[in-house]
Chains A and B, each alone.
Chain A
Amino acid sequence: MKKSRVLAALLTASMSVTLLAGCGGNSGESGESSDGVESIVFATPLVKTVDMERIEKALNEILEPKINVHVDIEGISMANYNNQIGLMQSGGEQLDVMGYIGTYSSWLSKNQMLAMNEYLDEYGADAKEVIGEEFLKSTTKDGSVYALPSLNGKAASMTIVIRQDLIDELSLPVDQLKQASSFEEYCENLDLITEMYAQIHEAHPELACIVPYSSNTLMFTDTMPFADRMNDDYGVLMPDDYETVANVYETEEFETLVGYAYDWNQNGYVLEDATTTQETGNTYLMNGRAASFFIKGEEGQEEQIETATGVDVSAIKILDPFITTTDVNSMGFAISATSEHPEAAMKFLNEMYTNPDVVNLLDWGIEGEDYQVMGDGTVDFPEGVDAQTTQYGLNMDYFFGNQFIAYIWGEGRDTTLMQRLEENNKTAQFSPAMGFSYDNSSVSNEIAAVSNVGAEYLPGLRCGTLNPDTEIDKFNEALYSAGLQNIIDEKQSQYDEWRAEQ
């Protein structure tokens, strides 16, 4: 009897020890160390799981001597990124620099980012200069800068990617496709493409003429030419009137576009599983199912798709680029509202936009281990490493700071690409609402309802499985009853206010 009491007491004790064992570990890493080096935490979304420790070490070898900043990289799976940032911020965990992809406006409405003007001027002057006034407007609200947008090719425009062998075999008139500068011209392109699809379909009925590149949309159906999406498509600026916020789904143009999709679908040109597939256009292309797809892309995409799929393709821009706030601020870097080291954070950000060593490290990994510089100035895998065995291979060069100062990946690629991208950024047409970003926190209930309506109808409309003649009306009815008008009104009033200030 005594023995079992002892036993029980031991068990109880061991459980409490287990519970407490976690305590005490892992703390006291942050803050300033004795040698004056300030430690910051840099959270970044990652498109795949990689071990960032090696990178972190190499990064600090550059940063500590130069700017006295030690960076702890928290690589977080992209799918969980936004949640995780919310957790870290509400939990009072140290968090200083946060990269983001697509969450700017959600962060803005919840004050998750620190207004960084003073630090930017003092410690980030170089970064400020390379980003430039125009782009910085996209992350500025009421005079406060909340983030630095990633520098990459922003002038992406609607592009059709077609298999080269089909172009040759059927002598498809691709050279007649032109970069449209109006909706009419754009439709001419789509008419031409319709004819091409008819040809392809006749010659190769086993091919899907068009597949979604990603996100269960044929792509051209959800990008209204020269319209400003104003962040979320619910309330946009149409090209005929850049002053009034309109419902894009009620426009004739939308009906025309999804009409193409519907006709194509009826004729059997579209991949049958377009609305539900989880594979990308690349996969369908590579495995001989797809003849073409649309992307919103920039120069260099053609080569990238060819490398990824091993299929010879032609990528033809069919629309003039039109840059909006959302295009520019879609990804970038912010300082956490909870940061206690904003100066150090800014010093680090400054490096990410101006120091090629830092950018190359984050983009491609460690020289000699993950990449090597080739004779033509590009970089590629070193001897004995390939896409499957690489320890890094994030390929997120579009994301980390300034892409224009980094190496280009892939031996034999045109090294003038970066200059061209930079040039396009300057020459492209900008939306008149460039720099306007809206705060949706006062209409969050409506956004919630409208998002659900959108999820119900949009994939079908965008892939042409729903008949626009009947479904568009139903869709709009559902949108209005979900409160779309409130969102539009709210946007309009914020937009008017913003314009008055300009």
Chain B
Amino acid sequence: MSKVKTAAPRKAGKFRRQWPLWVMIIPGMLYLLINNYGPMIGLFIAFKKIDYSKGIWGSDWVGLDNFEYLFKTDAAFTMTRNTILYNLVFIVLGTILGVAVGIMLSELRKKIEVKFFQTVILLPYLLSWVICAYIGYAFLSKETGLINNFLEMLGMSAVDWYNDPGKWPFILTFVHLWKGIGYSSIIYMASIIGIDTSLYESAMVDGARKWQQIRYITLPLLKPTVIMLTIMSIGRMFYSDFGLFYQMPMNSGAVFSTTQTIDTYVYRALMQQSDIAMSSAAGFYQSIVGFILVLTANAVVRKLSPENAMF
């Protein structure tokens, strides 16, 4: 400490005043160190050919060999395209709907209504993907599906959902929003609740309509949250929700062209071999791309509105 003091007395003075803040972050940072940074050392596995008799440390280095299967395949284009497009759609629609529902929930006046709607909208989030897939199957099954039963009742012909790739972008987007909207709307709702109510009151005194209040008070104040969540989603651009893309289509091969993402490809590729080096390589690749995208996005944000940049 004394060294710092002589070098930069002002900084050290600040530190002396701020030491409680530094103490506060200790447990959290310690946890990140153990839970996240420690295991990151393990990323080196991605560059090894695992031989258990030598142990993971002693296995041979193979450079980038473990990454090859992600690129040297015809499926590379499809899975990358699908992953990116789905993420883009999810980010855009998820944000719009999340904000909209968040606002609507915060506008409800009766307590009982808030309780009811919030609980109900959150329910799908609580189900595991396998169960969601069963429910999806209940609707989409060719033999006994509710939708096909309904179509037949109307005298229309049944649709073979699990063999029709054209339908899946819509189904998956719907299911994603259905399952996630409760979650994201709560984030926005919490932000809205935190907004100083006096702002609305003075707006009302000025005769602002509801829509104007939302347009000029709520939305601008939600902007930082939206930007933050978007940047975080951009970091996961090359990831996909495995359960959504693998379980929901019931692993149906016929719809791979619209359901295959990087994660499902990796899963199927390694099912037989179960190679931890290759799966770790996939994770590394997804992270690196995400990292670059985030840095870019953050730089753009820093340019446009510095106060909203993440770091």
Contact = CB atoms under 8 A, between A and B. Distances in A.
Q: Do chains A and B touch in the complex (CB under 8 A)?
A: yes
Contact of A275 (B27, B56, B252, B260): B252
A95 to B, nearest CB: 10
A338 B50 CA distance: 14
B31 A19 contact: yes
Interface string B243-257: 000000011111010
Nearest to B75: A452
A482 B73 contact: yes
B68 A445 contact: yes
Interface stretch (B10-18, B87-95, B270-278): B270-278
B49 A445 contact: no
Q: Chain B interface mostly helix, strand, loop or mixed?
A: helix
Residue of B30, B49, B72, B253 ringed by the most chain A CB atoms within 10 A: B253
B69 A449 contact: yes
B141 interface: yes
Contact of B52 (A15, A337, A465): A337
Contacts of A181: none
Contacts of A278: 134, 137, 250
Nearest to A478: B74
Contacts of A460: 163, 253-254
A109 B273 contact: yes
B162 interface: yes
A465 B49 contact: no
Given A8-B24, A271-B143, A455 B52 contact: no
B215 interface: no
B73 A449 contact: yes
A66 interface: no
Interface string B24-38: 101100110010000
A444 B278 contact: yes
Interface stretch (A83-91, A128-136, A167-175, A375-383): A83-91
B51 interface: yes
A330 interface: no
Interface in A69-112: 82-83, 86, 89-90, 92, 103, 106, 109-112
Interface centre among B20, B137, B252 (most CB of A within 10 A): B252
B27 A451 contact: no
A456 interface: yes
Contact of A90 (B265, B270, B274, B276): B276
Nearest to A102: B272
A502 interface: no
Contact of B143 (A109, A232, A273, A478): A273
Interface in A429-451: 440-441, 444-445, 447-449, 451
Interface string B43-86: 00000011111111000000001001100111100000000000
A5 B20 contact: yes
A9 B20 CA distance: 10
B252 A459 contact: yes
Interface string A3-36: 0010011011001100100000000000000000
Interface in B139-175: 141-144, 162-163
B52 A89 contact: yes
B246 to A, nearest CB: 11
A447 B73 contact: no
A103 B141 CA distance: 33
B23 A455 contact: no
B268 A451 contact: yes
A457 interface: yes
A451 B30 contact: no
A452 B268 contact: yes
Contacts of B56: 90
A417 B84 CA distance: 57
B270 A16 contact: no
A112 B275 CA distance: 12
A451 B272 contact: yes
A440 B272 CA distance: 11
Interface string B109-145: 0000000000000000000000000100100011110
Contact of A110 (B51, B134, B272): B51
Nearest to B74: A481
B269 interface: yes
Contacts of B34: 19
A466 B56 CA distance: 43
A448 B273 contact: yes
A276 interface: yes
Interface string A105-125: 010011110100000000000
Nearest to B252: A276
24 contacts: A5-B20, A15-B27, A19-B30, A82-B274, A111-B52, A111-B54, A112-B52, A271-B143, A273-B162, A276-B162, A276-B251, A337-B53, A338-B52, A338-B55, A441-B49, A444-B69, A447-B273, A448-B278, A449-B69, A449-B75, A451-B268, A451-B271, A481-B74, A482-B73
Given A86-B276, A273-B141, A451-B271, 6 more contacts: A9-B23, A110-B52, A111-B54, A449-B72, A449-B74, A482-B75
Closest 7 CB pairs of A and B: A448-B269, A448-B69, A276-B250, A456-B253, A111-B53, A445-B69, A449-B73
